[in-house]
Amino acid sequence: MANTRSAAKRARQTLKRSLRNRSVVTRLRTIQSQLRSSEKPSAEQIRAAIAAIDKAAKRGIIHRNAANRRKARLNKALAAAK
């Protein structure tokens, strides 16, 4: 348990943030698994996944380099599909 009021507040804020971040990460994971499992993902699906990755990286939920790596793999799949 927190010793000070400010530490208690930080604990509450951390709990809220971690729940929000977990939902975003879960959504990203779901989108990417759907893309991998589909026979031939459409360009629109890949662009939506890239937009979701960019948004998560902008908010600091995933690391910028991790986002760039994921986007590069998606763009590579998009180029191979054409």
Domain ranges within the chain, ordered by starting residue: 5-81
> Distance between CA 62 and CA 67 in Å, rounded?
7
Q: The pTM is what?
A: 0.84
Contact 38, 4 (CB under 8 A): no
pLDDT at 40: 86
Instruction: Please list the alpha-helical segments (H only) found in 1-81.
Output: 5-37, 43-58, 64-81
Q: What's the chain's average pLDDT?
A: 93
Show the CA angle centred on residue 70, arms to residues 67 and 76, nearest 5°.
135
pLDDT at 41: 86
Q: Is 80 exceeded by the pLDDT of residue 79?
A: yes
Assign 5 a pLDDT band (cuts: 50, 70, 90). Answer: very high
Architecture of domain 5-81: Up-down Bundle (1.20)
pLDDT at 57: 97
Identify the residue with better confidence: 1 or 22. 22
> Distance between CA 81 and CA 64 in Å, rounded?
26
